[in-house]
């Protein structure tokens, strides 16, 4: 006869448990949705960043890559740095603005610097059916867009520089899939993230909630875990600044809750069902 898994409760499970008596998460029994809320709140607060599983960022500066691969002179590099002080542009954007390297050359150099692939072009039709099953909000928060269906536990994702290492790590932990990142230009990224999931028809099960109270996120998670039979929900969390993402899997349905920290304790909660 197990007790409620919330340490501050400890209520005994009834000897004859009805199907709707309590909620089981990750094999642990909770006597009520209130106890699940308390545990969800604690897991949101205690979530830690996941290991990226990616090689460390390259130490060679972008200007050095451009000098070697595109013949940018040392004098031009100095002029780019000087122009940056007035424009506020990133180095690659400043180089293309001055006309000393193409956007593809800069993209290629950025990819070599980060140790990832790159795509000069990518058709937005590849993402309109939301491959890998993210919500558009989650894709934007993670700073990555899957552009093909998963294969053998791996999925190709597009992202803009700099490499969103924490977002990639969170994606891997929450979905169980290994992302294979490819750099695209900022313009292509904007097009992809806008198009992601746009071809899906029928009523959407997504909802976006803004709240100033962490309890709202915990309540959303608890409600998702209590849905369906309540037989055994699975809850996984990952932290990637400034977000905490919790995934609840229950009766073949996945609920994602994305908590974004803000000023004065404010946060945003994104709940999506797949």
**pLDDT (0 to 100) of residue 211:** 55
Residues lower than pLDDT 70 in the chain: 1, 10, 13-21, 51-60, 62-71, 202-212, 228-231, 262-274
Give the pLDDT of residue 181.
96
DSSP designation for 203: -
pLDDT confidence of residue 90 = 80
Note the pLDDT of residue 29.
87
β-pairing verdict for 253-261 and 243-250:
antiparallel
How buried is residue 86: exposed, middle or buried, by Cβ count under 10 Å (0-12/13-18/19+)?
Answer: exposed
Centroid of chain to Cα 205 = 19
pLDDT of residue 271: 58
**What's this model's pTM, rounded to 2 decimal places?**
0.77
The answer to whether residues 129 and 123 touch, using CB atoms and an 8 Å cutoff, is: no
Report the pLDDT value the prediction gives residue 133, as an integer from 0 to 100: 85
Closest CA relative to residue 83, chosen from 59, 68, 99: 99
Residue 49 β-bridge partners: 239
* pLDDT tens per residue, range 147-169: 999 999 999 999 998 899 989 99
- Dump pLDDT digits (tens) for 219-264: 999 998 888 665 688 999 988 888 888 888 888 788 888 887 754 3
Return the exposure string of 105-142: e unless at least 16 CB atoms fall within 10 Å of the residue's CB, then b: bbbbbbbbbbebebbeebebebbeebbbbbbbbbbbbb
DSSP state of 264: G
């Amino acid at each position: 006869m197990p007790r409620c898994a919330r340490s501050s409760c400890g209520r005994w499970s009834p000897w004859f448990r009805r199907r709707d008596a309590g909620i089981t998460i990750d094999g642990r029994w909770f006597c009520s949705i209130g106890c699940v809320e308390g545990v969800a709140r604690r897991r949101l607060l205690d979530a830690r960043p996941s290991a990226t599983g990616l090689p460390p960022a390259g130490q060679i500066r972008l200007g050095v890559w451009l000098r070697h691969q595109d013949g940018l002179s040392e004098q031009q590099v100095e002029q780019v740095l000087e122009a940056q002080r007035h424009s506020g542009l990133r180095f690659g954007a400043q180089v293309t603005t001055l006309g000393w390297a193409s956007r593809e050359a800069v993209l290629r150099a950025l990819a070599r610097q980060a140790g990832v692939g790159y795509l000069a072009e990518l058709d937005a039709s590849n993402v309109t059916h939301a491959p890998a099953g993210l919500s558009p909000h989650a894709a934007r928060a993670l700073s990555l867009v899957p552009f093909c269906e998963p294969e053998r536990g791996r999925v190709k994702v597009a992202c803009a520089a700099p490499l969103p290492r924490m977002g990639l790590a969170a994606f891997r932990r929450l979905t169980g899939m290994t992302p294979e990142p490819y750099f695209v230009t900022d313009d292509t990224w904007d097009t992809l993230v806008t198009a992601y999931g746009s071809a899906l028809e029928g009523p959407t099960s997504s909802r976006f909630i803004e709240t100033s109270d962490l309890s709202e996120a915990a309540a959303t998670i608890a409600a998702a875990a209590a849905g369906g039979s309540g037989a055994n929900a699975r809850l996984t969390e990952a932290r990637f600044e400034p977000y905490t993402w919790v995934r609840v899997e229950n009766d073949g349905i996945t609920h994602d809750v994305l908590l974004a920290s803000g000023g004065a304790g404010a946060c945003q909660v994104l709940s999506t069902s797949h």
